[in-house]
Amino acid sequence: MSGLQNYGDGGVFLSVADGKLVRSFKEKNDNTEERITKTGKLVHEQKFDFIVGKFTDLQTRENEYGKQYILTVIAEGKKFLINISYSSRYATSLLKCLPNLDIEKEVKLQPWAMIDKNDPTKKVTGITLWQDGEKIAPLYTRDTPHGLPQMVQVKLKGKMVWDSTDMDAFLENASMKLFKNEPAKPVKWEENWASKINDKEKFTTVTLKKTEQDDDGFIGIDGEAKF
C-alpha cells in the first residue's frame, strides 16, 4: 500500500522515485502533488531533493513489490525511514559508498535521475552522498572491485539479460555488517495509516540547508521542508 505508515515507535516513511525523496499521503494537502499511477490510482505526494542526518540502521523487508531496503535516518532528532528497491540503481549506488562513510557523522543523501546521454528514451538514476562537505566516492568500482562480483549475462526466455544476483547479495552482506545487522533480518511493518496526516501542526519540520550547485547540477532545498 502506498502512503504513510506506522513503524515501531514512529517515523516518517519516504520512498525514492524519479530522483526525489517522496512522501505519500492518503489525502491531498497544501504541500502535495497529484499523480496517476500506472494502475490508474490517484496518489498524493510531497517531494524533496535531499535529507541530512545520521544513518542509524539498514534492514530489508519483503512486500508485494519484492525485496526492499529500509534505511533509517535521524534528522534533527526525528526518524525517517527511506524505502529503496533492493536491486535498483538507487540501492547499488548507495551501498557501494557506505563503507567510505563515517556513520557516526551526519550525511547528506540526494537521489538523482537524468536522461541517458547514449539513449534519450532511458533514465540513469542513483544516490549521491556527501559528508563533511565532500562527495563520497564508492569503495567498489570496476577498476578496484574489492571482491564485488560483477553482473553476468544469462539467458532468460530466449533473451540474454544481465543478472546482478551475486553482486546484490555481496553488497547486502557487506552493508549489514556496517550496522551490525548480521544476518539481515526483515523489518516488521504495521500497515495502518497514521492519524491526522493532514493536520499541519502534526507535521515534522526539518530544516534542509541550501547548497550551491554541485558538479552533478543539483541544488538543494532552501529553508524548511514540512515532512
Mean pLDDT of 69-86: 95
Does residue 213 belong to any structural domain of this protein?
no
The average confidence (pLDDT) of the chain is 80
Task: Take residue 142 and report the three cell numbers written for it.
Answer: 570496476
How many Cα atoms are found within 13 Å in the side-chain-facing hemisphere of 192?
9
Is residue 186 in a domain? yes
- Which residues lie across from 119 on neighbouring strands? 116
The count of residues in the chain is: 227
Mean pLDDT of 41-60: 94
pLDDT tens, position by position, 119-177: 888 899 999 999 999 999 999 999 999 999 999 999 888 999 999 999 999 999 999 99
pLDDT band of residue 93 (cuts 50, 70, 90) is: very high
> Is 26 inside any structural domain?
yes
The domain of 154 spans 12-202
143, three cell numbers: 577498476
Q: Is 156 exposed, middle or buried (0-12, 13-18, 19+ CB in 10 A)?
A: exposed
HEC string of the chain? Answer: CCCCCECCCCCEEEEEECCEEEEEECCCCCCCEEEECCCCCEEEEEEECCEEEEEEEEEEEEECCEEEEEEEEEECCEEEEEEEECCCHHHHHHHHHHHHCCCCCCEEEEEEEEEECCEEEEEEEEEEEEECCEECCCCCCCCCCCCCCCCEEEEECCEEEEECHHHHHHHHHHHHHHCCCCCCCECCCECCCCCCCCCHHHCCEEECCCCCCCCCCCCCCCCEEEC
For 186-218, write each residue's pLDDT tens digit.
444 343 333 333 333 333 334 343 333 333 333
- Whether 60 shows a pLDDT value over 60: the answer reads yes
What does the pLDDT read at residue 182? 62
> What total of structural domains would you count in the chain?
1
Concatenated DSSP letters for 47-100? Answer: EES-EEEEEEEEEEEEETTEEEEEEEEEETTEEEEEEEETTSHHHHHHHHHGGG
11 vs 217, residue with greater confidence: 11
- Identify whether 3 is part of a domain: no
**Is residue 191 in a domain?**
yes
Say if 151 falls within a structural domain: yes
Residue 224 lies in a domain: no
In a domain, 51, yes or no: yes
